[in-house]
A and B are shown apart, each in its own frame.
Chain A
Amino acid sequence: MLHIAVTRLFRDRGVDVILPPKPTRKTLDLGTKYSPEFACFPFKLTLGNMIEALESGADAIFMPGGIGPCRFGYYDAIQNQILKGLGYHFTMGSAEDPDRLSDMLDLMKQVAGLRTKGALLKLFYLILVRLSILDYALKRYFYTKPREAIPNETDMVFRESVQLIDSSLSLPSLLRARLKTSSWFRKIALRPGVTPLRIGIIGELFMTVEPSANTGIDMRLARMGIEVWKSVWLSDWVNDRFRFKPFTRNQLKLSARYARPYLRFPSGGESMESVGKTVLFAKRGVDGIIHIFPFTCMPELVAQTILTKVQRDLDIPILTLIFDEHTAQGGIDTRIEAFIDLLERRRHSSTFASPISTHPNRG
C-alpha cells in the first residue's frame, strides 16, 4: 500500500522512483543469504528487496530508522553496511526517529528535493491522505467481500478504486476519489442475512501490512468468505504519531485503554496494539484471532505470553502464526483451514447467537 501512496506523488515531482519487483521467493533467498543469521524476517525481506532495487538501477534507498526497544530501528545501519560490503554504490536516507515530524520531513527532503517546509508538509499530508483512503478502500473490501452476491464484483471494484486513488494527486481529487470509492462499494449487491465468520488479524506492523511477507493472508481469508478485522493499519500508524487527521481516533490510545488490565506499559513494537485490539475485538464479537509476527520478534513474544491469559479470560481462540524464511504457504493454509473449522463448529455449538456488534473499522 505504501508504495502505491508514495510512488506517483514523487514521480510527479520529478523523482525517478524505481519500484523493486514484487518480493518473491528469490528476493527472500537473496536477503537471507546476506543477512545475519538471526536477524528477523522483515530484515531479510527488505534486504533482498533492496538488492533487487539496486540491481535494477536505483542509486538511493530510503528506509525509516528509529529509536526504540525493537530492533527495527537499527535495520538501516546494518543493511547499509551489508550492501556497501557487497560493493553497491548508493546513498541511504533514513529518518533518525520516525516518531518525530522533523526527521520524517528531513527524509522527504532528501528524496523529493523540495526546499520549503510548507511544500514538504503538504507532500507529507498528501501521502497520509492517500494512505488512509487506500486503507479505507481495503476496509470496505474486507467488509463487502464475504457478503457479496455476485462473485468477484468486490475485487473488481477494489481494483478500480485503487487505480482511481493512485491517479489522484491533489487533495480535492483525492476527496472525490474517496466519495466515489464509497459509492461504488455501496452499490455492490450483498447477500441478505449473511453473518460471516469474523477473524481479527493482529500482530507486528510489517507482517500484517505487507502481503508478500504474510503470504497475503488477509486477502485469502476474505476470499474464503471471512470478514477480516485488522489491528494495525499503516495510515493509523502514521496518524497516531503526527495527528494530521485530528478527528480520526488515536488507535494507539484506544488500544492502550483496552490493554490496560493486561499490559500497562508499552514494551515496544506493536505489543500494545496486539493486546488491546484483541480485547477490543473480543468484546465486539470477533470469532477468532490470528496473531502474526516474525520469528524471535521480541515485543510480540511479550504480547503472545500475555495473550494466553486474555484468551482464557475472554474465551476467544487465538491462532499464532510465526513467519520466517522457511515458512511455506501450504503449512499456513492447513493451519488456517483447521482454525476456521474450529471457529465454525464453535459458532454452531454455542447456544446463543453471536452478539450483534458494530464494525470498528467503519465510520
Chain B
Amino acid sequence: MMSMRVGIPRALLYYRYFPLWNTFFRELGAQVVVSRPSTRKVLEEGFKFADDDVCIPIKMIFGHVLNIEDKVDYLFIPRLLSDNKTGYCCPMMAGLPEMIKYSMPHLPPILDPFVDERYRGTRLSGALSKVGRKLKYNFLQTRRAYSKAREQFDQFQRRMRDGVSVLDLINAFETNGCFTDEPLTEKEEDGSMKIGVIGHPYNLYDTLFNFDLFKRLKEANASIYTPERIHGHTIDHHLRRLKKDIYWTLGREILGAAFHLLESRVVDGLIYVTCFSCGIDSMIEPLVGFRAKREASPYMALMIDEHTGIGGFVTRLEAFLDTARRRKFNSDDERRTS
C-alpha cells in the first residue's frame, strides 16, 4: 500500500511549527508534501479564491493550498485559537479551515485539529492524537510520534534562540528530516551594525514578502535580531510595566522583543515588517512606534501588501540603513570624545 500523503502549505504557522508537524506525520509513516516556496504566481492563484479584504498571508495560504491540493490525500490546516495558556492567535487562524474549505472547490479532506492551549481537552498533544486516530493509528503510535515531534520542536526553538536564522533551520530540516547537532552556520562575528527585525513569522520569513530582507541586511554587514532570539523571560520582564497584557501570543512576542531590543540598546535600528489590514499589527505597531520615538532609535515599519514592489522596498531599506549607520557612528564618536 502506498503511504498516505499529508499536505502542509508553506504559509502562516508553517514558519513556527513545521518541524513539529513534519516529524509527527513522518513518525506515523505518512509522507509529508510541502508546497513550493512562495512566488508571485502562487500569490496570484490565491487571489482568485480568497476574499478581497483579508490580509496577504491568508491570500498566500490559499495559493499554497492550490499548489498541493491534487498531490495529497489530506490537507493539514490546524485551527489555532490559542497556542499559549494566556494568549490567543489571530481570529483568522481560528476560522482558517472553514475559510479554505468553503472558498475552494475539489479539496482533499482537511485535517483541522482544534488547538486551544488554555483548556486541558484541546491542547496540541491531544489535538494531534485526534488527528492520528482519524488517520487510523492507535493511541500509542500517535503518542510516540508526538513525543518525537516535540523533541524536534524543542530543539528547533533552542536553535532559534541561539541565533540561527529560522529559514536556515527550516531548510536544513527539510533536507535532513531532523536536526543534527552540528552547528548550521559558522559562528558569525558581530557585524558593523545590529538591526532588529520584528513581525509575524509568516511575514518575516516568506520568501516573497521579505524580498531577501535578511540577505540584504547581511550584505550590509549587519547582524540580525529577530523575536525568536529573545527568551520568554526577557519578554515577560519587559511587558510587566504594560498596563494591560497583550493577549495575542505572537503580538506579545513581537512587542516584548521590540521593547527589549529598544530599551537595552541592543540594536542600532528596528524594522517592523507588517502586512496591510493586519488587526494585531495595527494595535502593536503604534506601541512599538511610541517606544522607538521615546528611545530615539531609528525605526521603520515596512508594510507589505499585494502591490508592494521591490523597488520601493529596497529604497526604503537603504535609506533606513544609512540613517542607522550614521546615528551609530555619531554616537560612537560622542562616546569617544566625552
Contacts and interface: CB of A to CB of B under 8 A. Distances in A.
Interface of A: 36-40, 65, 67-71, 73-74, 76-78, 80-81, 85, 94, 96, 262-269, 271, 295-299, 301-306, 308-309, 322
A301 B244 contact: no
Contacts of A298: 90-92, 279
Contacts of B276: 38
Interface in B76-101: 79, 81, 88-92, 94-95, 98-99
B337 to A, nearest CB: 35
B287 A302 contact: no
Contact of B51 (A85, A94, A301): A301
Interface of B: 50-51, 53-54, 79, 81, 88-92, 94-95, 98-99, 102-103, 114, 242-244, 246-248, 276-283, 285-287, 290
Contacts of B114: 265
A305 B54 contact: yes
A80 B285 CA distance: 16
Nearest to B53: A301
Contacts of A38: 276-278, 281-282, 285
A142 to B, nearest CB: 29
Given A38-B282, A40-B279, A78-B287, 10 more contacts: A65-B244, A67-B88, A67-B247, A69-B89, A71-B282, A267-B95, A268-B94, A299-B91, A303-B95, A305-B50
Contact of B247 (A36, A74, A296, A301): A74
Contact of A69 (B50, B94, B286): B94
A298 B236 CA distance: 27
A263 B95 contact: yes
B244 A267 contact: no
18 contacts: A36-B282, A37-B282, A38-B281, A39-B283, A78-B286, A80-B243, A265-B114, A267-B92, A271-B91, A296-B278, A296-B282, A298-B92, A302-B99, A303-B95, A305-B102, A308-B51, A309-B102, A309-B103
A305 B50 CA distance: 8
Top 6 nearest A-B pairs (CB, nearest first) are A302-B95, A309-B102, A267-B95, A267-B94, A268-B91, A38-B282
Nearest to A271: B95
A296 B280 CA distance: 11
A71 B92 contact: no
B246 A74 contact: yes
Contact of B279 (A71, A80, A267): A71
A302 B92 contact: yes
B121 to A, nearest CB: 13
Contacts of B50: 305
Contact of B81 (A36, A69, A305): A69
Specify which of B91, B276, B286 lies most central, judged by the most chain A CB atoms within 10 Å of its CB: B91
